[in-house]
Amino acid sequence: MYGYDLSADEIMCKNMELAIVPLASIEQHGTHLPVATDWYIAMALGKKVAELSGGFLVPALPISTCREHMGKKGSVWMDHDIYYNMLKSILLSLKEQGFGKALLLQCHGGIFMAGPLVRQMNATCNPDFMVAFIDICNVFSLLYEKGIAETSTELHAGEIETSLMLHIAPETVNMAVAEDFVPEVPRAYLNYGSIFRASPTGVWGEPTKAAAEKGKAMLEFAARYAIEESERIFDYISRKEKIGYSDF
Ligand SMILES: [Zn+2]
pLDDT in tens, 110-137: 999 999 999 999 999 999 999 999 999 9
Picking from 92, 147, 53, 237, the residue whose alpha carbon sits closest to that of residue 45 is 53
**Ligand 1 centroid distance, CA of 22 (Å):** 13
Picking from 71, 78, 67, 56, the residue whose alpha carbon sits closest to that of residue 11 is 56
**Ligand 1 centroid distance, CA of 75 (Å):** 11
Protein residues with C-beta less than 5 angstroms from the ion ligand 1? 37-38, 161
CB 205 within 8 A of CB 151: yes
Question: Which pLDDT score, from 0 to 100, does residue 180 have?
Answer: 98
Question: Which pLDDT score, from 0 to 100, does residue 15 have?
Answer: 85
Task: Enter the CATH code of domain 17-238.
Answer: 3.40.50.10310
H-helix segments, the chain: 8-14, 37-53, 80-96, 114-125, 136-145, 159-168, 195-198, 212-238
Residues of the chain with pLDDT under 50: none
**Ligand 1 centroid distance, CA of 203 (Å):** 10
Q: State what percent of residues in the chain have pLDDT above 90.
A: 97
